[in-house]
Amino acid sequence: MASQAHLDKMQLRQNYRNLWHSDLMSTMQQDTPYCCLALWCAPCVSYMLRKRALYNDMSRYTCCAGYMPCSGRCGERKCPEFCLFTEVFLCFGNSVASTRFLLQDEFNIQTTKCDNCIIGFMFCLQQVACIFSIVAMIVGSGEIQDAAQLLNCLADMVYCTVCACMQTQHKIEMDKRDGMFGPQPMAVPHVQQMSRLDQAIPPAAGYPPAAYGQPYPAPQGYPPSGYSR
């Protein structure tokens, strides 16, 4: 049931009307230093981005942003910083994906076909590398073992590169949210508006479809007291 609900929500994300401020192919050009930082210090960047996605309010934190069966059952309320630290180091891939889903559901951001192809290629390459490794173990052929090692190295390189680009994409989107590309930042949503798997798709946010490079119009009533970047 939960898996089906997750798949349904993934499908509905394709109907969101806004686009990322930068697609994955452009992130290195848009913010090269941060992309390099995300490549070499990936877990630390994931920690910072999740905290920033939560508007630096760790009382909002839930393990994997509520998208995994373990979410809400890991003692997040008692020690959210430690739980987030554990998440980004032990479940790094999930931590990046969860931050991505969090931003998508908050701002109705769709994933473009190009981004989907890049992410799909990363997963397929990992699966092929895994299959080659299993076959190499069974057959014992030196040529297949060499091919498996080469594919594993290539899969790891693609994985690290795509994750770095995704994290840079998230950072650029939050720069846009926080008003670094315009006069005013976006307003902090209420806690109940933060996305969870069991919540409905959020309503329209009140701004027209945004193309790459265009900022969101700022809502009224900002800034809330106590929010700091």
Q: In terms of DSSP H, where are the helices of the chain?
A: 2-13, 27-30, 32-40, 42-53, 80-90, 92-107, 113-139, 142-177
Token pair 């949210």: residue = 177
Tell me, yes or no, whether 58 lies in a domain.
yes
pLDDT on residue 225: 45
pLDDT on residue 7: 66
In this predicted structure, which of 52-61, 162-171, 214-223 has the lowest mean pLDDT? 214-223
d(CA 176, CA 174): 5
pLDDT on residue 16: 83
With beta carbons less than 8 A apart as the criterion, state whether 94 and 68 touch: yes
Tell me, yes or no, whether 202 lies in a domain.
no
Specify burial of residue 78 (Cβ count, 10 A radius: 0-12, 13-18, 19+).
exposed
Tell me, yes or no, whether 225 lies in a domain.
no
Both structure tokens of 132: 């080659």
Tell me, yes or no, whether 123 lies in a domain.
yes
d(CA 191, CA 206): 19
Tell me, yes or no, whether 221 lies in a domain.
no
Tell me, yes or no, whether 154 lies in a domain.
yes
The total number of structural domains in the chain stands at 1
Tell me, yes or no, whether 229 lies in a domain.
no
Both structure tokens of 177: 């949210």
Q: Nearest CA to 225 among 187, 173, 182?
A: 187
Tell me, yes or no, whether 167 lies in a domain.
yes
Which residues is 18 bridged to in the sheet? 109
Both structure tokens of 82: 């430690």
pLDDT on residue 3: 58
pLDDT on residue 190: 58
* pLDDT tens per residue, range 28-66: 999 999 999 999 999 999 999 999 999 999 989 988 888
In this predicted structure, which of 34-48, 61-75, 76-90, 184-198 has the lowest mean pLDDT? 184-198
d(CA 120, CA 187): 33
Q: Find the domain containing 177 and state its range.
A: 2-18+29-193
CA 111 to chain centroid: 11
